[in-house]
């Protein structure tokens, strides 16, 4: 039995994170789950929220948008539209994005505009939450 997981999170633009870790906690459609070594094989959808990586005695936080998780034989791969390490989130830009998204949603006149503004708002709020949580823990 191994006590580490090989983990990577990939967006269309880049590999956001790749390392051996102890555990991974993430948001799914069914709720928050934690994956430990020797986890059963799993494929599931992830929803926007916070990923928490435990490596040794450190915790790393990542804001993640929708995507998919696959785990098998102590390998975890997440494919997602977007992901950002907490320490890379610019608080000012995230707040500005939230305000722009709220304004766009208020001014939207079509279902497509409303949906796009809702996704933008959800992304901004997720980024703000993860950045604030990171500051509390460090």
Q: What's the CA gap between 72 and 42, in Å, rounded?
A: 7
pLDDT surpasses 80 at 18: yes
Residues 42 and 74 occupy one common structural domain: yes
pLDDT of residue 135: 62
- DSSP secondary structure, 14-33, as one string: -EEEEEEESEEEEEETTEEE
Q: Are residues 43 and 94 in the same domain?
A: no
Same domain, 44 and 95: no
Q: What is the pLDDT of residue 134?
A: 64
Q: Which two tokens stand for residue 44?
A: 């599931």
Residues 76 and 103 in one domain: no
Q: What local confidence, expressed as pLDDT, does residue 69 receive?
A: 96
> What would the pLDDT profile of 100-123 be if each residue is shown by its tens digit?
889 888 888 888 888 888 888 888
Q: What is the span of the domain harbouring residue 25? A: 5-86
Do 96 and 57 reside in the same domain of the chain? no
CA 30 to chain centre: 15
For the segment 38-66, what is each residue's pLDDT rounded down to a tens digit?
899 999 999 999 999 999 988 999 999 99
The residue from 49, 64, 86 where one domain ends is 86
Q: What is the DSSP letter of 41?
A: P
Q: How many domains does the chain have?
A: 2
Could you tell me the pLDDT band of residue 2, with boundaries at 50, 70 and 90? low
67/133 same-domain check: no
Q: Tell me: the pLDDT tens digits for 67-107? A: 999 999 899 999 999 999 888 888 888 888 889 889 888 88
Please provide the size of the chain in residues: 138
pLDDT band at 137 (very low <50, low <70, confident <90, very high): low
How high is the pLDDT of residue 7?
Answer: 96
The reported pTM is 0.82
Same domain, 67 and 94: no
Yes or no: say if 49 and 64 are a contact pair by the CB < 8 Å rule.
yes
For residue 43, the model assigns a pLDDT of 95
Q: Quote the CA–CA distance of 101 and 118 in Å, as a whole number.
A: 7
| In a shared domain, residues 79 and 13 | yes
Q: Which of 68, 86, 104 is the last residue of a domain?
A: 86
């Amino acid at each position: 039995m191994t006590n580490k997981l090989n983990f990577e999170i990939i967006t269309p633009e880049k590999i956001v994170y790749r390392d051996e870790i102890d555990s991974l906690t993430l948001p799914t459609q069914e709720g928050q789950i934690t994956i430990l070594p020797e986890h059963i094989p799993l494929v599931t959808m992830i929803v926007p929220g916070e990923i928490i990586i435990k490596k040794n005695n450190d915790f790393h936080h990542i804001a993640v948008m929708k995507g998919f998780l696959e785990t098998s034989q102590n390998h975890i791969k997440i494919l997602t539209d977007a992901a950002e390490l907490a320490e890379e989130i610019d608080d000012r830009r995230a707040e500005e994005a939230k305000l722009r998204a709220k304004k766009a949603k208020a001014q939207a006149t079509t279902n497509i505009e409303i949906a796009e503004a809702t996704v933008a708002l959800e992304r901004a709020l997720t980024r703000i939450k993860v950045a604030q949580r990171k500051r509390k823990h460090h």
